[in-house]
Structure 1
């Protein structure tokens, strides 16, 4: 059964946030998007442990608290560690990929340059997670 997802989208680039929301609208998806522009504000959203997201889409290159620092904190929490976290970044650095998987991510996607390729990746990503068995509160 396909379900509507609650997605915490952590991205500091306003253009990327607009692009992501545009893709969601263009695909006719009804997922609930919770936006955060850095790791600190994302942790503040999550700290109440109420109304938790089904998945987290996380950029790596952010101010204040970068993606790897955020992941490290997230995965140490006994409740938050189970939220599937997918990296959505421009970093193809193998060191970043390896470190993220070591910490415990559910996937690593590179942001493609072409809009059509971006749409394709986001659609496949959300198709997969909307039919996956997720841990709920």
Structure 2
């Protein structure tokens, strides 16, 4: 993780992408925000970039490769696992079985995607602030 690295958002809903982008801009978060519509595209980017992303925000329900499958692929990839990119689910999926499965994949958080702009802004502020202050083995890369 690099505090200056990009924030990776895997989100297939264009309205949610717009809301997330608007929140990041309103919070004056300086990190580049990169959107991917599915886990396959995000995985190809992560496997080929030399960037050290700051954070991954991932939805659960997506076409091609869902969030749980995406997380599993990261965990099985030694190159990506060593990057230790903080991985947080941000999803409307709040089924207890999905949450349990998510935490079984060594994620760093699971947050419900809020319906109101202000509530979503509060969630993203908490996530960003936490990881901004957190010490990390790759923070100086």
Where structure 1 has 5 or more consecutive residues not aligned to the other structure, the ranges are none
For 1:16 and 1:75, the matched residues in 2 are separated by: 26
Q: CA deviation at 1:54?
A: 2.0
Partner of 2:38: 38
The higher relative CO (CA closer than 8 Å, separation ≥ 6) is in 2
RMSD: 1.3
For 1:6 and 1:85, the matched residues in 2 are separated by: 13
Question: How many pairs were matched up?
Answer: 135
Partner of 1:20: 20
Asked if 2 retains the 8 angstrom alpha-carbon contact of 1:85 and 1:106, the reply is yes
- Give the TM-score normalised by structure 1: 0.92
For 2:137 and 2:48, the matched residues in 1 are separated by: 17
- Give the TM-score normalised by structure 2: 0.89
Q: CA deviation at 1:134?
A: 2.5
Asked if 2 retains the 8 angstrom alpha-carbon contact of 1:10 and 1:39, the reply is yes
Where structure 2 has 5 or more consecutive residues not aligned to the other structure, the ranges are none
Give 3-state SS (helix, strand or coil) of 1:87's partner.
Answer: strand
